[in-house]
Amino acid sequence: MTTDIQDIWVYLAATPLTGLTLTLAAYVAGQWLFRRFRHHPLVNPVLIAVILLVGLLTLTGVDYATYFEGAQFVHFLLGPATVALAVPLYRQFDKVRRSALSLTVALLAGSATAVVTAMLIGWGMGASREVLVSLAPKSVTTPIAMGIAELTGGLPSLTAVLVILTGILGAVLGTSVLRLVGVSDPKATGFAMGLASHGIGTARALELGETQGAFAGLAMGLNGLFTAIALPLLMVWIFS
């Protein structure tokens, strides 16, 4: 009986539809728990889905490449989902225009802080140049961060893991930390979440309100653009 079940699983694991189904089922389970615990940030649905999927793949011995053959369909939707963030941003455009100066200062300060603190922590722990370069773009959305890491001599796969961890950590703890330091303005909350925690933080900001979601999406896009331009130049200057 056990052999039959294993044979069936080997067959299913090789089917792209299985990876897609597991991804959607894990996220639905995460959403159910999220609602069950009254939207508590520690029960973030993305975090729950990641834990469930990692546990299942580890137990079954299925490698990531096989799983991604099905999950890539969800991955493809990241592009349209990112573009869709323009809708709440358009609705909040007057607020964005009035806050242009403060947003610019916040962008420069936040982007620099994310890069410098990551590299300083890595340097203090004795990380190699390759790891330091991989750490630097951790607060940028995954496709851009991986491209930056590859361009500057880092490890794109390591960067992808760090980006996801940063996003989940920001989505789980970001709102609590912001309240702790006295940040209550919806625009500031959203911009901080998107700047520090990219797409996952933006998803969390959208749950708080349209204003937070709009400013988070703006921060995610601007941070990706600014870091993609400035970070390679900074790496050349640091390591020269």
Q: Which two tokens stand for residue 37?
A: 């615990």
Long-range contacts of 178-185 (CB under 8 A, 24+ apart): none
pLDDT, tens digit only, all 240 positions of the chain: 445 445 544 555 556 677 788 888 999 998 999 889 888 878 888 889 889 988 988 888 877 777 777 777 777 777 787 777 788 888 888 888 888 899 999 999 999 999 999 999 999 998 888 888 999 888 888 888 888 888 888 888 888 888 988 998 888 888 889 999 998 899 999 999 999 998 888 988 888 888 999 999 999 989 988 998 988 888 888 776
Residue 39 region, left (φ>0) first, then alpha (ψ -120 to 50), else beta?
left
